[in-house]
Structure 1
Amino acid sequence: MKAALRLIVGLGNPGSEYLTTRHNAGFWLLDIFSEALKTNFVYDKYFDGLISKVYRNSNNIIFFKPSTYMNNSGDALYRLVNFYKINPESILVLHDELDLPPGDIRVKFNGGSAGHNGLRSIQKVIGSDFWRIRIGIGHPRSLSSKQLVSDFVLDSPNSSEQRQINVAMDCCLNCIFDILDGNFETVRNKLKNT
């Protein structure tokens, strides 16, 4: 399924204290995309977030990092989506995923929030019919951690987990032009084989 992509949203929490936490994996991947495409984020007070734009095949694609906390990601997104008249099917959300081990990265269209508060906030605003890239961070249970999920996502991965996540993000970066062009079946197949 091909989508006319208009918006890529990275999920995370603002502030230096959250910079390296697992919950900021969406920010990490969007930063990697932005750096590769040599774009710069600028804070936009009206949209309450950091914005960058990429021009690709006669299409302007907005990169957006909400400056709200994760649980209120939908609040910032709502204003942006309404202003630019963006349909949910043209949105890609990058987010951390507990149900995937570190090093796994998957593409998905539609679905529930699986307890992810950022996704839940977005779904209240635009529904569920948007694309996602799910960045595996593991689950405390599967990683033999006694941390509560809420503490785990706000903690930094260990060096081994971080290496695995970085490799997955590099694989995703290798698909960047397919992502920008909305060729999500191609991306899905490439990521499946990594």
Structure 2
Amino acid sequence: MLILAGQGNPGPAYAGNRHNIGFRAVDAIAARWGFGPERSRFHGLAREGSIDTPAGDVKALILKPQTFYNESGRSVAAALKFYKLTPADLVLFYDEIDLAAGRFRMKTGGGAAGNNGVRSVTAHIGPDFRRARLGIGHPGHKDKVHGYVLSDFHKTETSWVSDMLKAVADAAPLLAAGEDERYQAEVMRLAPAEKLDPRKPGDPA
């Protein structure tokens, strides 16, 4: 079984924020693969379902912590404990300012790179979980980061956001099969995004 957790802040005021693209990613997976209705569980909103793979269905729990972004670890840890799972059974979807808008990268383990939500999850379960990093670009200066991630995507960004979310959902069988490198490649094939310097949109990295 897998837990596919998205990071974000609860409530309609935050729904369109860049910080909430993790929520939107797991919602897209749940919709694409016909997961059940949301229920309040594990200090979050959870949906149960399965994802088809060549080796058979893989059961999964979609989890959106409602503890606010910076306390995501409490919710994730409660779900892992209930199902007797390990950090390797968790995939955390979150916004990544150090990737250009529309870029997507998978990794396992590592540091928090200034992301307080990732830091919270690490504090509760350790660092060895799988990370699905959704590139949103960087505002250009560290003093602007807080306001940037808590602002809504601009209407000019609607196309790439929609394309990436659809790709994340359509390619999910590779994720469920544990083939993270192939999942990353397939998401980028389905929703190509130019490799730019995240701090200077339009300039090659």
* Structure 1 length-normalised TM: 0.88
Q: Please, which runs of 5 or more residues in structure 1 have no aligned partner?
A: none
Query: 3-state DSSP class of the match of 2:156?
Result: helix
Q: CA deviation at 1:192?
A: 4.8
- 8 A Cα contact 1:137 1:161, kept in partner: no
Q: CA deviation at 1:168?
A: 2.0
The equivalences for 1:39-188 within 5 A come to 39-45=35-41, 47-56=42-51, 57=56, 59-141=58-140, 148-188=144-184
Quick one: which of 5, 9, 12 aligns to 2:5? 9
Distance in 1, Cα, partners of 2:188 & 2:33: 24
- 8 A Cα contact 2:5 2:90, kept in partner: yes
Q: Note the alpha carbon deviations across 1:103-155, whole angstroms, 9 max, x for none.
A: 1111111111111111010000111111111011111008xxx9721111000
Count matched residues. Answer: 186
Q: CA deviation at 1:81?
A: 1.1
Distance in 1, Cα, partners of 2:162 & 2:100: 13
Distance in 2, Cα, partners of 1:174 & 1:95: 18
Q: Note the alpha carbon deviations across 1:16-61, whole angstroms, 9 max, x for none.
A: 000000000100111111111122342325x111111123435421
Distance 1:59 1:164, change over 3 A: closer
Distance in 2, Cα, partners of 1:76 & 1:172: 23
Q: Please, which runs of 5 or more residues in structure 2 have no aligned partner?
A: 193-205
- 8 A Cα contact 2:29 2:170, kept in partner: no
Q: Does 1:190 align with 2:177?
A: no
Distance in 2, Cα, partners of 1:44 & 1:64: 10
Q: Note the alpha carbon deviations across 1:53-86, whole angstroms, 9 max, x for none.
A: 1234354211111111001100111211111111
Distance in 1, Cα, partners of 2:45 & 2:73: 14
Q: CA deviation at 1:186?
A: 1.3
Percent of aligned positions with the same letter in both sequences?
Answer: 31
What's the C-alpha RMSD, in Å, of the aligned pairs? 1.9
- 8 A Cα contact 1:103 1:166, kept in partner: no
Distance in 2, Cα, partners of 1:15 & 1:191: 28
Moved over 4 A (4+): none
- Residue 15 of structure 2 aligns with an amino acid whose one-letter code is L
- Residue 75 of structure 1 aligns with an amino acid whose one-letter code is R
